[in-house]
Amino acid sequence: MIKRVVVFFLMLLMMGCSGSVTAKPINVCVQPSDGPVYMQGCDASVLTSNVFDPVANVAHQAKVAGPMVLWTGKKANWNQTVQQFTALVDESKKYGNKFEWVYLYDEIGWCPNSGLCWFDHEDTVLAGAAYAHSKGLNTLVTILPDVILDPRFKLKDINAYDGISIDVYPSIRPTKPDFGSCKFSDNELENLFYCSAQKLRSLGFTGQLGYIFQGFGIRGESHDHRMSYLIKQRQAINNAAAMGATAVMSFGKVLGAVEQQAEPVLEPFGGTIYEPWINQ
């Protein structure tokens, strides 16, 4: 899925935060590509703009109130993203401290059609990270637990990234990772995040950790099934700080027309009876 954060987020927007875990992680809101729309309780945001022109693209993202993570493009549009990356970063600096983080890459090591895959864009992403750092921006990537917990997982320079967000979706579990002796609780969703975070730390990662959780349902699933995973996910959200997260982000709470067309099976929880279960 594309924007898992986005992905946070998106999430690592812990603007100005130190490396310590806070009592309550900051809340990063994901705006639809045709936004902005009004969203409450956002400490920071990311807007997955589809505007081609770099100047217009950054202006579009800057319409969202508050701190922003600079969105540079979808993995599906990789060549365009690479071509425009420096222009987007340079343009973002015209907005002062509006953009303090840049989203570099979505779901390292995962290919939608084949599952686990080699991170063949790594050198290009590292060059982008170096350029972003030279302009004073923090860098963010997202990675699935399935990739992190695979014994083959490694990165050339894990601390080129100031933030790593881990997306844990109960409705989309592509593999069943081996946790080994690692355990946070009897809740698999918590173990997926916590054990991924522990492995990243064991590999020397010193940056921020974000928890991306599910803000959508799968069309056609029963209410009982939804509640079964939302209850477990709520527990994980409440324990995010204890698990090591400094930021949280709900993907799919609001989806724009482009996102709905790309993934029509997803049903946003925003404005439904399920929304309280995903609010931070």
SS (H, E, C) 151-170: CCCCCCCHHHCCEEEEECCC
Residue 118 lies in a domain: yes
Q: How far is CA 233 from CA 66, 191, 230, 278, in A?
A: 27, 11, 5, 8
Residue 116 lies in a domain: yes
Read off the CATH number of the domain in which 162 is found. 3.20.20
Residue 201, helix vs strand vs coil: helix
Encode the chain (280 residues) as per-residue pLDDT tens digits.
444 444 444 444 444 443 444 468 999 999 999 999 999 899 999 999 999 999 999 999 999 999 999 999 988 888 899 999 999 999 999 999 999 999 999 999 988 777 888 888 999 999 999 999 999 999 999 999 999 999 999 999 999 999 999 999 999 888 899 999 999 999 999 999 999 999 999 999 999 999 999 999 999 999 999 999 999 999 999 999 999 999 999 999 999 998 999 899 999 999 999 999 999 7
Residue 247 lies in a domain: yes
Range of the domain at 129: 6-277
Residue 78 lies in a domain: yes
Q: Are 163 and 157 in contact (CB under 8 A)?
A: no
Residue 267, helix vs strand vs coil: strand
State residue 111's pLDDT score: 84
* Overall pTM surpassing 0.75 (yes/no): yes
Residue 171 lies in a domain: yes
Residue 173 DSSP code: -
Q: Are 127 and 105 in contact (CB under 8 A)?
A: no
Structural domains in the chain (count): 1
State residue 212's pLDDT score: 97
Q: Are 28 and 43 in contact (CB under 8 A)?
A: yes
Residue 1 lies in a domain: no
State residue 115's pLDDT score: 80
Residue 193 lies in a domain: yes
Residue 67 lies in a domain: yes
State residue 15's pLDDT score: 42
**CA–CA distance, 74 with 6 (Å, rounded to integer):** 9
Q: Taking the alpha carbons of 71, 153, 156, 111 in that order, is the dihedral positive or negative?
A: negative
Which residue type sits at 178? Answer: D
**CA–CA distance, 257 with 21 (Å, rounded to integer):** 36
